[in-house]
Amino acid sequence: MNLFKTVPTVSVAEAAAAVTAKDATFIDVRTPEEYAEGHAAGAVNVPLEKIGSAVEHLKQFSKVYVICRTGTRSAVAVSKLLSARVNAFNVSGGTMEWLQHGLPMD
């Protein structure tokens, strides 16, 4: 089973436009070290291994956008979040594609 075909996915441009909505949030599931090197503007660091402990907090948002470096770890996180009934979306191509599109970084 290809995880990328089973989780809802949005482009970096769609995510950049959507994450500013009042009822949405944007998380980066890379390690704290990777996150500190630079991340998509507005993304909050929730490392993949801690995603389970963030579920209850994330349920307050109508949409959760998830990014990593290339889209692999975020797809895993989205799968876990969907299983916990969180409305989550994988950001296709991750931070690498975000950078290629010249989108804002923090």
Domains detected in the chain:
3-100 (3.40.250.10)
Three state DSSP letters for 34-73:
HHHCCCECCCEECCHHHHHHHHHHHCCCCEEEEECCCCHH
Q: Please list the active-site residues.
A: 68
- Look at residue 85 and give its three-state secondary structure: coil
DSSP bridge pairs for 9: 90
Residue 77 token pair = 């996180």
pLDDT tens track for 58-98: 999 999 999 999 999 999 999 999 999 999 999 999 999 99
Q: Confidence class of residue 4 from pLDDT cuts 50, 70 and 90?
A: low
Which phi and psi angles does 87 have, rounded to 5°? -80, 90
- Residue 94: what pLDDT? 97
Q: Confidence class of residue 21 from pLDDT cuts 50, 70 and 90?
A: confident
For residue 20, pLDDT over 90 is answered with no
